[in-house]
Structure 1
Amino acid sequence: MSIEVLRPIYLILIPILVIFIIYLGKSIIEDKRRKRLIIIIRCVIAILLTLSLVNITVNKITKDTSTIFLLDLSHSNEEFKENGQDFIKKTLKEMGTSDYAGIVVFGQDAKVEKFVSKSKTINTIESKPIASATNIENAINTGISLFPSDKAKRFVLITDGEENIGKLEKTIPSLNEQNIDMKVYKVEKSFKKEVYVDSLKLPDKINIGDEFSIGVGIYSNIQTKTKVYLYEGSTLKAQSEVSLTKGMNNFTFKDIQKSGGVKNYKVVIDPAEDTEVKNNEYIGYTNVLTREKVFIAEGKKGQGDNIANILTSLGYSYDRGLGTELPGALKDMLAYKGIISVDIHGEDFPKGFKDSLDSYVKEYGGAFIATGGEDSYALGEYTNTPLEKVLPVNMDMRGKKEIPKMSITLVIDHSGSMGGGSGEVSKLTLAKEAAQKAADTLRENDEIGVIAFDQSYSWVVKGEKGSNKEVVKDKIGQIQVNGGTSIYPALKEAYEYEKNSDAKIKHIILLTDGQDGFRQYDDIIDGLGKNNITLSTVSVGEDADTKLLQSLAESGKGRSYHTDIYTDLPRIFAKEIFMASKAYLNNREFTPKLVNSHEVLDGVINDGKIPNLLGYIGTSPKENATVVFNSDEDDPILALWQYGLGRSVAWTSDVTGKWDANYTNWDGYKKLWGNILNWSLEDYTSGESNLNISVQGNEAHIEYKSNSVKDNTKLSGIYTKSDGTQGDFNLDIKAPGVYEKNISLDESSFYSVSVREENDGKITSVKNGVIALQYSLEYKLMGDTGALDSLVEGTNGKFIKLPKDIFNGEIKKVKGGINLSLPLTILALILLMLEIAYRRLDLNITLPKFINRIHFKKKVKKAPLKKERNLAESKIEIIPKVLENNQAPKEKVKKDKVKKNERAKLNTELLLKKKKDRSNE
């Protein structure tokens, strides 16, 4: 046993405090006995508190031992989880009374499953570390932090030893310094035939048109053959069948890029013999350097000619293609600073493009400019899509221009001929899909009816509200092919129903693929005009009576459509619903009105005149949008707004020369588009900052360097997976001008990253980057690196196989210390409360008699007789304190005097007797 004093310097306080307390004790208004007791208690309290500061520890050798199990739960060792759990359970049963145990599970990170305790039971291991890598170094450091200081220490490491993050050897000095007994259970794995892609090497940057090399490394533990496929995006660039030898096999491909931006590559192998398929592909990317450019997307070939000529004259670099050729992934969209759509129907935008458009503009600072035409905006089914979300206008008419209640009746041929079609999809199937899409476009207060006809007719849906879309669509879906073709009775029924409707807009759509020879439609035609009912017709296929249907549409002041491409039917029906209101498509000449001044108008209107436009698509402005030009009916013609980091522009007229014919030769038109592009393509990325991204395991390290960061600057970022899933983060300062963050990613994929500086609510700088996260490192064959052997040798540890082996061998005992600081503090507090109670409650308590006697004997031995007499007399004179306003009864005072006289007499006799004894000696 030993006593350890950690802060002896505080001992100097004891005499200082005692002297100070005695000095202050002179001012205590109490009798001498009480005063002395109070001073003594206070001195003891001061001494106890001082000793608690000194931090005294009583040490003794302890027999307690704490054992921490480190169980590897990474992918490479996942098959051993159940066996490892059973091994730990059996070991816990072998524990003695002085044994304690804890459990840490690990992969890339480490999690505490069980803190060190005497408990000998565990259930199923619940903790789930990141299994995509093995970091034994981190697991050991985590376990070291859990060891109690007053117990002997032991590690039981259960792993295959295939570390791929961290360095196990770095832990050896710490293990030796803390005398930790090291036991290692090495998991032996059976041989499996394995082939995997080890690497894909691409240059970081290349120039357009330059040929470059792509290096592919394939590892195999057997001799076999494999097919190798190289993709750029979804395009197969090369393929080959190769023979593999045991070990690393390297191959090289060549490629040339003709467009700029980040280009992603993927190599895929198909080995003849293999076990794990998750490691059979590898991804990478390169950045093709080019000037910032835009993409011109057109609905039909040639529609983008005019805007392309304007961009060329302004010196802009651009790519051009149909709407279907737009980039379909965010990382590919980021190759362009802005995207201009020219009269593209919503269905012609790739799904990936629409899914990524919001992030492209809002989070990554891209620009989106939409121009009009008969296939755009509401007529192009932009409603309730990301296109509408990003643009500064609503697709429906609101406010004063809000469309009144509509009633739509669909008259659909379901005769036997409608069972035919193109491929496996019948014309009736597409007609039903078209009717369902028409129902989707209705507002809640609109009404819809559906009549199915062959040689007779029946109501499928009658006067159903737009709020019941699902009911309507379900009933439409039940229409079946049947019978011949008789148009008139069904059309007459639809007319009679609409004639009695209270809706302001009444419209009938007739769809058929046949003819019945009946021509007496005069009563219906006359009634349509008188009751403000419009009629549009859709003829399908070669057998349809197109002349009749065109005549009916013209008489009904509607539109006539003919299609042999049956897949057009849903698009036609949806468009017809909007066209029926006569508010969306405006084919007429008007002079735009200037509503707000804006920088896009700088140098545009020099003479105060604006040419007339010949048409536009009706929309309504969003609340925070800036409308620059309005139509003569106050519908937006040019509207724009800031959307997150990016900007979007809506030009509701066209750029094909149909509606903007008067603008093509106007000098201000080129200037207007130059200003629109300059404003929407504002560059946030020109600041002096750098973004560096590195990947380890499934964790990406983001490092951002900038000299422009101020004290109040907010540094944040966002990352987007190729499927559109997003996450955000804030960067932490590492050093002046250097900021970093580690983000965990969940699966192999490409991730786009954007980091931005924000000052006073305004974005001042943005940097974009890309992450290529590979398959888990656990699916690579690391082999025996000798790390476990080095660990056992460096710590004098031992490899084990059985639970009983863990407790064999000597383990260095440690001193178990009991720190007295807390007990001393508690004792001081108890004495303090007693001292307060003694003074406040005026308790009549004196020191114990034996203390008085000891004190008295010491004085007698040292003092002369005269002093002894004086001392005895002074003792006799001590009387109880009596308060002035609380006098004791006379009898009590008298009894007290008698008792004191008796005590004084005894004391005097005792003194005389002792004096006589000395004389005799």
Structure 2
Amino acid sequence: MQIRLFYPYFLALIVLLPLVWYWVRYAPRRLSPVRQRLLIALRVVVLLLIIGGLVRLSLTQAYQRANVVFLLDVSLSVTAAMRQRALEFIRTVVQEKRPEDGIGLVVFGADATLEQSVSKDFTLQDIASEVEGSATHVARAIQAGMASFPPDGARRLALLSDGNENVGSAAEAALIARSLGAEIYPLPLGQDSGGQEVRVEKLVVPRQVQAGAPYQVEAMVMSTVETTASLELFRGGAFAGRQEVTLTPGKNRVQFLQQTSDEGVHLYEVVVNSPQDTLLENNRFRGFTDVLGPPKMLMLYDEPGPSTPLLEALQEQGLAVEARPWNTLPHALSGYLEYDALIFDNVPGFGISVSQMEVLEQYVRDMGGGLLMLGGEKSFGAGGYYRTPIEKLLPVDMDIPTKMSIPSLSLVMVIDKSDSMGGSINNTSSPRNLDERTTKLEVAKIAAFSAMKLLNPFDQAGLLAFNADWEWTVPMSEAGKREQIAGRLSALTHGGGTDLYKGMQEGLRVLKDVKAVKKHLIALSDGLTAHMDFEALMQEAIGSNITVTTVALGKDADRTLMDAIAHWGQGRSYYTDDPLFIPRIFTAETILVSRGLIEEIPFQPALQTEHELLQGVDLAQAPPLHGYVVTYGKPAAQLLLVTPKEDPLLAVQRYGLGRTAAFTADLGLRWGKDWARWERFPQFTAQ
């Protein structure tokens, strides 16, 4: 570091400093001593600043020798004229450099060679080195240039190339060079004016694919003119596809859909041929992919067993499928590591804990797993997935928007309030670290209020609590009166015996007189009750257009009777031994009844969006489906197949690193029975 004064004679003005003191000290105006000192200091500072500006003080650093290494592209994509312009540019720089600066030259193509080492006396006539020109390996040139620098002096790399890199990663090599103190200056060679050139810049091939799974291979083709071209793709030397395209000036993307069951590393090569081309040497590009073994799937099903046609179709396509009951869903992330994807085949969500759902969400989001949910009477919104972590990751919403036409509903909930409902939820088979005062009845009250919140404000709802007798805790009223409903629910307490018949009889009596398109009763009990003539009671209910659903809670519940009541009442029967699942059961049942979530009509699927999952599947030849669960597509999802009402049938989306799909019909059990006999069914399910 050096200090330099351009006009040092102005330093003579420093002799004026005593005059500043004299000027202030003997000024006619008398100042206090403090003000005199302050004024003297300020004027001295101003005078020094003026002197400093006049002398032009500057700090200079000694010049550091610069070492410049030119990286010259001599691959086949660089014409002789472009190369000659680059050499002239280098000679011009050599003539204008400082005497102490060093110049070096690296020439490169598929490999890199040091043409001349860094020297102060650099001269350049022509290129003597022979370099393989079939590729452009910029990264190797940067590495060779870094190795040629002397230990002292600034390091600078000047890259002279057309930028047609097709081997290695120049970006990674440049980051390493910068971390070692080198500066890189890219100097594009450009194109010869008026030249007709077509070349392959890149071939994008997935690093890894599953055997039998479809994938895309994309060629990036650069053209200087508008022309026709033929692209041929080869895998392992064998013909794998051809595309006849029209190229526009600039970059053009051409995609090939590929699929193979042969495991191992495969070499892909694309070749472009065009009538308007100058250099043929840059018309091909290579890439590799590793084809892994068949993906392993975990298929979870509800009783009585898995969908046999679906299981057989997947296995026929070479997929390894492990079928297990849904209640074996892993609780820890380690339980998913051996699987590539999960299939939910009519799995009820109200039997899966929130913690299990969160682990599954993490598996998809962070580990790149897949999830396919199939439709069924216990799936999607009908299965209790509304507002759960699983709904969050799927491409469809479980609730129907309120703008859709929904018929009026009257709902009565008949809730057991006997002594047994006063038991703590921590005493159940699912251990919980919760407040000991939280009882089964408290959870049931939460479930009832959650269900009422899902209703339209003008729907009718009521809650009847029973023990040995009954009482209307919430008399029939509009569901929109939530504050009033919440206040009445809070006053409900437990106690007494259990007489389900009386409670249901009273609830049905009130429902008969209500005017509504749909009338539904939900009965919850955790204990045994006297066996009265429930079948006759249910026949009366059906005669009054009332359906009945039952929820059996705990091991002491009379499951046989509750199942029979639901069967006679043309509703659904639920069972859980964990009270914390009650709100989800009530929510699912309310959505199912109030929204009409299940459509059971024959229909022909309609194609909404072209996608690789449907490649080779002629949906025009597909037989009809006979039902589906109504859902609503999310904004980020791709709707591939829809119903005649434009409800989602097949939807997919990315979620973090993974992918999820929803097929709202089933595949081969009830609604998809005709599809199970379709010749394209195995291919469709595997894809």
- When normalised by structure 2's length, the TM-score is 0.48
The structure whose RCO (Cα within 8 Å, separation 6+) is larger is 1
**TM-score, normalising length from structure 1?**
0.37
Please say which structure displays the higher CA radius of gyration.
1
